[in-house]
Chains A and B, each alone.
Chain A
């Protein structure tokens, strides 16, 4: 039998390529469907009436969507800023040192929000905050900012700690040799070297806060819908393509953020 002889490729596994291509197809098909329907001119999702931007315009003019978007962005900015500051300090406190009593405890503490299902943290916060709301009468955004900051800290901590651990101490020692005070050495040497990691940590925290729906759902007071909780509420009802339009814009924002994050992280000074 005259079969074409090919070099035996040791990396090949039969069928794997096909399954992989199917997986990529399956990963993007639902997203493509979601985006396509957001350009649907029809009144409902059950028909296709041709291309139109009407649902984007309708979402843009929807006061509830505007409020929720602004609230989401403000909340994510506050939570990511506070979490990044706390995480940077914690990273400085837990790296570049021999093991000391309490170090493992700190690691466990900081990473704890990653270990507990969101729904559990959500209802636990509901229990505590609902009582505090009754006691103090304060029902502002403070609860949401606090809750978001807490679960953003481990995400901001991750890249900052990694950077600190790979950073070499020579430059800081040199600064100290040149009579820089510890503060000055920190501001002029350590912090600039740490900047890419701090930006990466901030962006991670920002995306995590922006995406959260479960904890927000249980912590928010009346009239404090963020964009995800607004969408979750709308999904209960008969959905109109307006939700698709909002989702498409949100999706685009996420893709932009991930792309920027990817390039910030890749640039190794």
Chain B
């Protein structure tokens, strides 16, 4: 006869087994069509490129990784820095940082504004931010193009007002990408900021004013420290997709201003250098991981100091 303890243990083991069986379909699909291919790509980055795309399967080579940062001189085979790659890497990082700062500058007052509306109208404002958030990214990028192209809203307005004579060329520049990313990713900043400002205890602010703090001091010394988790979350939510942006620089940068995403695509398309493309992809993923680690460290620290 089984003892009560044994029966309990058997039931627990059965429960575990059922839980693995239940989660199996999801785990398998994600392994086959998301995680597994990343490992294959890692392997590809260490293989030798074939002449017409793809790789020479199983032939080990570090050339893909070397050419992320360096290029071989055609004549004497010496290595020099690959300026084109470095400038694209730099553009990706700097444009993503600028985008984060711009979305924060516009997003923080907006989120604060929404959070301080009366409860009845607040939902309407939130809804107004949610709609662009769920609208197709490509369509929003295209919408931005209508504003900044040479015959677009800005240029038409400036020319008809007589401020400029010829169109201001914004399309196909870094500025176009910056404007596009700021526009497209703004809701990703506003929504987490709103969530944390909404929870703000305004009695603390009142206490600040009682102690003769100015508006600016209240903002800087009370509001911002209290909503820091929201600021960090919003910044990460904007920075990470900016870093991996592909559609926005392709449509607004027009092949002239490339970011990492476009450089990767180039290697799998016209560049026909799959190992290099794989190595750049893994570099991009590593940058994203660094940003995520920064986020996790910040969240655990602020969590510890508050509670």
Contact = CB atoms under 8 A, between A and B. Distances in A.
- Do A and B belong to a common assembly? yes
Interface of B, secondary structure class, is helix
B227 to A, nearest CB: 13
A151 interface: yes
A228 B229 CA distance: 35
Contacts of A258: 130-131, 134
Contact of A93 (B23, B152, B183, B209): B23
A2 interface: no
A118 B242 CA distance: 11
B23 A127 contact: no
A30 B183 contact: yes
A112 B32 CA distance: 12
Interface stretch (A13-21, A62-70, A162-170, A187-195): A13-21
Contacts of B190: 23
Interface residues of B, number: 89
Interface string B90-109: 00000000000000001101
Interface of A: 8, 10-17, 19-24, 26-31, 33-34, 37, 45-46, 82, 85-87, 89-90, 92-94, 97, 100, 102, 106, 109-110, 112-113, 115-121, 123-128, 130, 146-147, 149-151, 153, 157, 207, 210-211, 213-214, 218, 228, 231-232, 235, 243-244, 247, 250-251, 254-255, 257-258, 261-262
Contact of A150 (B29, B125, B251): B29
A19 B132 contact: no
Contacts of A250: 136, 139
B135 A33 contact: no
B209 A150 contact: no
Nearest to A86: B26
Contacts of A116: 34, 38, 285, 288
B20 A117 contact: no
B63 interface: no
Contact of A118 (B30, B152, B244, B282): B244
B110 A115 contact: no
